[in-house]
Amino acid sequence: MVFKIQDTERKILEIVSQAAAKMQVPAYVVGGYVRDRLLARPSKDIDIVCVGSGIELAQRVAGELHPVPRITVFQRFGTAMIKHRDLEVEFVGARKESYRHDSRKPAVEDGSLEDDQNRRDFTINALAVSLNEADFGNIIDPFDGLGDLERKIIRTPLDPGKTFSDDPLRMMRAIRFATQLDFVIEPATFKAIDTYKERIKIISAERIATELNKIIQAPKPSVGFKLLFDSGLLQLIFPEMTALHGVEIRNGRAHKDNFYHTLEVLDNLSKKTENLWLRWSAILHDIAKPPTKRFHPEQGWTFHGHEVMGATMTATIFRRFRLPMDQKMKYVQKLVRLHLRPISLTKEEITDSAMRRLLVDAGDDLEDLMLLCEADITSKNPDKVKRYLENYELVRQRLQAVEERDHLRNWQPPITGEVIMEAFGIGPSREVGEIKNFVREAILDGIIPNQYEAAYALMMEKAAEIGLGKV
C-alpha cells in the first residue's frame, strides 16, 4: 500500500529522502504522523527514523531549507529537531532498546528499522513509510497496524506484559489513545494493564499528569476515566477520584454515585469548552463529598462544606500531580469553591446583595462558573433539566442587571487601607480592617452607592464611632 503524502509536507519529505540518499542511509517516517494521516487527523509533528545518524541527517536537511531553520540537538539521545514553517520534524537513528526492572529509561544501541518498530508502544504507532527512492511512499506494517486502524483497536506489537512492564507509562498511553481516537483496547492488552498496574508507581507525577491532561482534553473524557477506573490505575494515581465511586443506602435512603455524576458533568462541560482548567474544575467540583458525607435521620445524606474542603483539596491534588500552582490552580479553586452559589441564587427571595457578592467573588470567571453549574445538571428528567436551565438564565439576567447598575465586576472597594491610614495618620491596625470591611459590606448590601464620595463619608462616620479623628 502506498501512503499519500500531503502536498504541504511533500517538499520537506523529498528533501529528507534526497539527503538520506546522499548519506547512503535508509530513512522512514514513523509513528504518529503516519497514524494520524491515515485517520485523516491533522498532524504537525513528523518523526524521521534513519538507519544511521539522525543528527547528521537533520543537519543536511536543515542546510537545504530556506530560511535555514535552527537545529535543536539532543546529543545524549542521538536525536535532533528542526522547525520548518508550522512543522516540527524530529530525526533519530534506528535503535534497539532493553530495560531494567526499576526504570523506564532503556539501554539503547543502534538497530535496524525492524528493531525500531519492535520497540514501539502500539501497532498503530509502529507503521512506517519509506522515504527511499526504490519504494518511496510504501507503508511498512509488520504488526497489521493498518488492520487495527480499520478495526479501531489498541494493541501492542509484542507481548503486552513485557511492553507495559518495560515502560509502564504505556498503560496510560493506551487509555489515552483509546479515548482520543474512540478505539477499543484489545482484551489481552487491557488484561495486561490490570496485571501490571502497580508498575505505574515508578513513573513520575509529571508524566502521568501529561497523559491525564490529554485524556481530559479528549472529546469525551469519561471514556478514559472509566478505563482508568476499570483497570485499577485510577486508584493508584488519583485515589480521591475513586473515593467518589459507590452508593451507600441507609434507612432506605441513597445518595447518587458521585463518580459517575462527575464524569457526566465533565462530558457535559466538554461539549461547551476546550478549556483544560475549566474541565479540571468539573473533575474536582465534588471531590470533597466523601470526607464530608454525613447521614441525618430526617435530612438524609448531606455533604455540607464540600465546596470549601474541595478548594483545599484542589491545591493538594495539583501539587501531587506537579500541575501549575499559579493562577491556573487558583482559578480551579475558585470555581470549586463557588460552584454551589449560582443555584442558591435561583430562589425568588434572593436579594441584589447576594448577586453583588457573586459578581465580586467570581469576577471575570463568572461565565465559566455558570458553564460549570449548567454542566452540573445531570438529572434524567428532561422537565427538571429544562427548569434548572431556565432558572440559571434568570440568574444570568439578574446578574447582568446588577452589574450594569453597580459596575462590580472585578471590583475593588473605593476606600483602601492606604486611604484610611493616610486620613487618620495611623499604621496597619485592627481599626483599619474594621473600617475597610464596614465600607465594603455597605456597598455590597446596597446601603451606599459604589462611589468614592459616599464611601469616604461612611468611612468618616465609622471612624468617629470608634474614636478615630481625622489628621
The pLDDT, as a whole number, for residue 155 is 97
The pLDDT, as a whole number, for residue 121 is 94
Question: Which contacts of 256-260 are long-range, i.e. CB under 8 A and separated by 24 or more positions?
Answer: 258/286, 258/289, 258/290, 259/229
Whole-prediction pTM value? 0.87
The pLDDT, as a whole number, for residue 2 is 67
Q: Between the CA atoms of 452, 453, 455 and 456, what dihedral angle is there, to the nearest 10 degrees?
A: 110
The pLDDT, as a whole number, for residue 401 is 87
Cβ 168 vs Cβ 126: under 8 Å: no
Report how far residue 204's alpha carbon sits from residue 320's, in angstroms, rounded to the nearest whole number.
10
Report how far residue 28's alpha carbon sits from residue 425's, in angstroms, rounded to the nearest whole number.
76
Report how far residue 249's alpha carbon sits from residue 256's, in angstroms, rounded to the nearest whole number.
10
CB crowding 380-392: b at 16 or more within 10 Å, else e: eeeeeeeebeebb
**Which cell numbers in the block locate residue 133?**
527512492
* Domains observed in the chain: 7-151 (3.30.460.10), 158-237 (1.10.110.30), 417-465 (no CATH)
The pLDDT, as a whole number, for residue 103 is 60
Please count the residues of the chain.
471
The pLDDT, as a whole number, for residue 108 is 65
Q: Angle 43-237-208 (CA atoms, 0-180°, nearest 5)?
A: 30
Q: What is the pLDDT along the chain (471 residues), one digit of tens a residue?
A: 567 777 778 889 999 999 999 999 999 999 999 999 999 888 889 999 999 999 999 999 999 988 888 899 988 888 999 998 889 999 999 987 665 666 656 666 788 999 999 989 999 999 999 999 999 999 999 999 999 999 999 999 999 999 999 899 999 999 999 999 999 999 999 999 999 999 999 999 999 999 999 999 999 999 999 999 999 999 999 999 999 999 999 988 889 999 999 999 999 999 999 999 999 999 999 999 999 999 998 889 999 999 999 999 999 999 999 999 999 999 999 999 999 999 888 876 778 888 888 988 998 999 999 999 999 999 888 998 898 888 888 888 888 888 888 777 777 888 999 999 999 989 999 999 999 999 988 988 889 988 899 999 999 999 999 888 765
Count Cα neighbours of 323 within 13 Å in the Cβ-side half-sphere: 22
The pLDDT, as a whole number, for residue 75 is 85
Among candidates 53, 70, 59, 60, which has minimal Cα distance to 19?
A: 60
Peptide bond into 219 cis (omega under 30): no
In the chain, % helix, strand, coil (3-state, to 5) comes to: 55, 10, 30
Residue found under cell 489513545: 177
The pLDDT, as a whole number, for residue 107 is 60
Burial grade of 73 (CB within 10 A; 0-12, 13-18, 19 or more): middle
Report how far residue 454's alpha carbon sits from residue 445's, in angstroms, rounded to the nearest whole number.
14
